[in-house]
Homo-oligomer: A and B are copies of this chain.
Amino acid sequence: MTRRDAIRPGEVAVDLPPATDAGLVFIGRIRTPWTDRLACPRQGRRDGPVCRIALFDTWAGGLDGLDAFDAVEVLYWLDRSRRDLLRQSPKRDGTTRGTFALRSPVRPNPIGTAVATLVGIEGGTVLVRGLDCLDGTPLIDLKPDRCSFTPVDGVPD
């Protein structure tokens, strides 16, 4: 998503091990208004624009029951991010912090997480507010937000 090539002064890259410990399957695609990373908000806003999370046909049936919740946790794959930075310089001034002290998209496993407000479900598409990712971002998971997770009948899942 950002700086595929450039390293800023003070940043540190590691020799990334092969990313073969586990494999992901993309389950859908996220449609947002943002086609350029410079236009993306830094964090999603719960009053932001409605975005469409379109599940692939195989997975659409897995949405049944999601409409009972107000908020959903969305996991997506930041497919344009480099993955090898150990220290980063968000301010581009040579001062750096460890990757795990930042929510930067640049990380060994570039998974973005958001808690979004559920607006509606139309077939295999989930409408939400509160995302901050680029248009076309691959979806990897969707689940009721842990905070809003009140089992319907008192039996925990």
Could you tell me which A residues sit within 8 Å of B by CB distance?
12, 14-27, 42-43, 58-59, 61-66, 68-69, 73, 75, 77, 79, 83, 86-87, 90-91, 96-104, 107-109, 111, 113-115, 138, 140-144, 146, 149, 155-157
**Interchain Cβ contacts under 8 Å between A and B, 22 examples:** A14-B59, A18-B25, A19-B22, A21-B23, A21-B24, A22-B23, A22-B24, A22-B138, A23-B23, A27-B108, A43-B149, A59-B86, A62-B98, A63-B98, A64-B98, A64-B101, A65-B97, A66-B101, A68-B101, A90-B157, A109-B141, A115-B146
Question: Within 8 Å CB of A97, what residues of B?
Answer: 64-65
Question: Within 8 Å CB of A19, what residues of B?
Answer: 22-25
Quick one: which of B58, B102, B138, B144 contacts A17, CB cutoff 8 A? Answer: B58
Tell me whether B108 and A155 are in contact (CB under 8 A).
no
Q: How far is the CB of A87 from chain B (nearest CB, A)?
A: 7
- Closest-by-CB residue of B relative to A55 is B100
Tell me whether B26 and A21 are in contact (CB under 8 A).
yes
Contacts A75-B113, A108-B140 aside, 7 further interface pairs with beta carbons under 8 A come to: A61-B87, A62-B99, A62-B101, A64-B98, A65-B101, A66-B100, A103-B143
CA distance A89 to B69 in the complex (A): 18
- Closest-by-CB residue of B relative to A75 is B111
- Closest-by-CB residue of B relative to A56 is B17
Question: Within 8 Å CB of A42, what residues of B?
Answer: 156-157
Tell me whether B23 and A103 are in contact (CB under 8 A).
no
Question: Within 8 Å CB of A12, what residues of B?
Answer: 61
